[in-house]
């Protein structure tokens, strides 16, 4: 089929067919896809972002097979349950790998509202190094002690890998998946997105520094620990992080293309 004849996928709006809470979750997740694409985190139809239903915690929404992240809209997201059933009336379907992968994490961690998994170039590079993430600047020092690691187990098709990921994640919300990519979670979409932005940025900084061939100055452990103490003082009560930043990202999504809200 000539490119000029390939139709754009434009699903009917679900705004009046789902709860107000679910619609707001869909809009926020669709915004995350658009901004993530803008940042260059994904330029294919692969990888996934997912969000738990606020009023149906046993369900979650995720991007379907076949759509680029720049095409995802609130209505194109597919709802699924933890038993592998697609619940949306749509010609699109979820990729089994993504559904099993994300569903297993959410089922085991009811406190989480969002899971993000990406394969950015710099993230893959750092995941393939022996020592993983370095603590070399203010940005990476803010991640000290907050990043977990998980061994590559082949294509992420099985729900059985979910328990291993959750076990390796522990109390952290950021993970480098060895020889694979990056994973973040959050109690809100904003928190998961902010975590991913910080982790991806740290990986990018490190790959650029490594490319210079210069001897690397690592931050002392005591300085990294002091940085974490400062963060805890700034964020009392263990409230979700990234909420202020997320408002900015929503404005960015609006400026890029308000069509994500359809």
Q: What is the CATH number of the domain that holds 223?
A: 3.40.225.10
Q: Domains in the chain: how many in total? A: 1
pLDDT tens column, 192-202: 999 999 999 99
Residue 61 binned pLDDT confidence (cut-offs 50, 70, 90)? very high
Please state, as a whole number, how many other Cβ atoms lie within 10 Å of the Cβ of residue 53: 22
Laid out side by side, the sheet with 147-150 consists of: 78-81, 59-62, 48-52, 114-118, 181-186, 174-177, 147-150
Q: How far is CA 29 from the centre of its chain?
A: 10
Mean pLDDT of the chain: 93
Provide the sign of the torsion angle of the four alpha carbons 188, 190, 191, 197, taken in this order: positive
pLDDT score recorded for residue 99: 85
Q: Can you give the pTM of this predicted structure?
A: 0.93
Question: Cβ distance 210 to 202 under 8 Å?
Answer: no
Question: Cβ distance 112 to 52 under 8 Å?
Answer: yes
Boundaries of domain holding 246 = 3-261
Residue 1 has pLDDT above 50, yes or no: no
- Residue 205 tokens read as 């900084």
């Amino acid at each position: 089929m000539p490119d000029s004849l390939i139709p754009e996928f434009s699903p009917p709006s679900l705004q009046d067919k789902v709860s107000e809470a679910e619609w707001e979750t869909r809009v926020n997740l669709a915004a995350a896809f658009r901004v993530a694409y803008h940042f260059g985190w994904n330029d294919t139809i692969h990888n996934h972002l997912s969000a738990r239903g606020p009023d149906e915690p046993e369900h979650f929404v995720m991007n379907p097979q076949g759509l680029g992240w720049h095409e995802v809209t609130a209505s194109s997201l597919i709802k699924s349950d933890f038993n592998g059933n697609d619940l949306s009336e749509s010609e699109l379907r979820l990729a089994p790998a993504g559904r099993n992968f994300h569903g297993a994490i959410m089922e085991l961690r009811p406190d989480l509202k969002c899971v993000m998994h990406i394969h950015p170039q710099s993230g893959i590079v750092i995941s393939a190094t022996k020592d993983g993430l370095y603590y070399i600047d203010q940005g990476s020092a803010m991640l000290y002690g907050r990043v977990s690691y998980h061994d590559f187990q082949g294509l992420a098709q099985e729900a059985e890998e979910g328990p291993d990921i959750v076990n390796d994640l522990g109390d952290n919300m950021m993970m480098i998946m060895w020889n694979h990519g990056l994973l973040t979670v959050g109690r809100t979409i904003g928190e998961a997105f902010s975590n991913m932005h910080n982790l991806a940025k740290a990986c990018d900084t490190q790959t650029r520094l490594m490319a210079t061939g210069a001897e690397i100055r690592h931050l002392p452990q005591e300085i990294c620990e002091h940085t974490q103490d400062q963060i805890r003082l700034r964020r009392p009560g263990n409230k979700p992080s990234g909420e202020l930043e997320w408002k900015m990202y929503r404005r960015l999504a609006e400026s890029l293309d308000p069509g994500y809200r359809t």
